[in-house]
Amino acid sequence: MNYPQIPDPRIRVTPTGIEFRDDLSFDEWDDLGTKLAPLGRSIGFVLGDWLNYGQRAFGEKYTEAIARTGISYQTLANFAYVARSVDFSCRQEKLGFEHHAVVAKLRSTDDQKYWLEMANRHSLSVRRLRKSINYGRLATEEEMQENPADRRHVTYLLLINNLIRWWKRETEKAPVDTWDRERREGLKKHFAPVAEIHNAL
């Protein structure tokens, strides 16, 4: 691993931490954080991709990986899972590994991209991103102050918003009146339970 080159004799970055040999001003300390942040954001993916390559090429190699890195099996397995689940093309450089871990459970690459872009655009915390995904929309600041247990029943919003995004994608590809009869009849059949719910309310 190449550590950030810090052209300052007061600071030495090593495999076991940072040695501060003299005092820093606040601005110097803040600038150091800016230089170190990319390393922190990327390490989970770097090790996860490395593990996944090793598994594809040589079979499961967690014993070797634990010996080489000194990192626990559970942490390495999590790195590998997120790296395997979130395609390289979806990853957002400015977001942390934990943001990507939140979207790893989403099966659709489009959904992963959508929520990572939302997190990037709105500077979402990991907690707000998780709650927004559960709601199926951007969680408001007021909702972030609520007890998470109070609104767990709102998970149906995720399904509805996913359906709305699917509908928008499909109708942008081709207007409904250009769809063949077989497709339209098939969708009507699939959406009948949704209509029943609506009519029952």
Per DSSP, the residues of 164-177 read HHHHHHHHHHS-GG
Any domain includes 59: no
Number of domains in the chain: 1
* Residue that wins the pLDDT comparison between 33 and 1: 33
Tokens at 61, concatenated: 């190699």
List CB contacts of 97: < 8 A, sequence separation 6 or more: 41, 42, 43, 44, 45, 79, 82
Any domain includes 47: no
pLDDT at 142: 79
Helices (H), the chain: 26-58, 62-69, 73-85, 97-103, 109-121, 126-135, 141-144, 156-173, 181-200
Any domain includes 197: yes
Tokens at 193, concatenated: 């339970």
Per the prediction, the chain carries an average pLDDT of 84
- 3-class SS at 11? strand
Stretch among 12-16, 84-88, 105-109, 150-154 having the lowest mean pLDDT: 150-154
Any domain includes 114: yes
pLDDT at 11: 84
Within 10 Å of residue 181's Cβ, how many Cβ atoms? Answer: 7
Q: How much is the pTM?
A: 0.62
Could you give the C-alpha distances from 140 to 23, 58, 124, 137, in angstroms and in order?
A: 41, 47, 11, 9
pLDDT at 74: 93
pLDDT at 4: 57
Percent of the chain with pLDDT over 90: 32
Any domain includes 126: yes
Question: Is the predicted pLDDT of residue 93 greater than 60, yes or no?
Answer: yes
**Cα 83 to Cα 87: distance, rounded to the nearest angstrom:** 7
The domain of 109 spans 88-201
Best CA proximity match to 126, nearest among 166, 92, 153: 92
Stretch among 23-27, 97-101, 151-155 having the lowest mean pLDDT: 151-155
Instruction: Compute and round to an integer the Cα radius of gyration of the chain.
Output: 23
Any domain includes 129: yes
For 174-183, the pLDDT digits (tens) are: 888 888 888 8
pLDDT at 200: 87
For 114-164, the pLDDT digits (tens) are: 999 999 999 999 999 999 998 889 888 778 876 555 455 456 766 777 788
Any domain includes 55: no
- 3-class SS at 12? strand
**Cα 148 to Cα 45: distance, rounded to the nearest angstrom:** 29
pLDDT at 106: 92
Any domain includes 110: yes
pLDDT at 197: 86
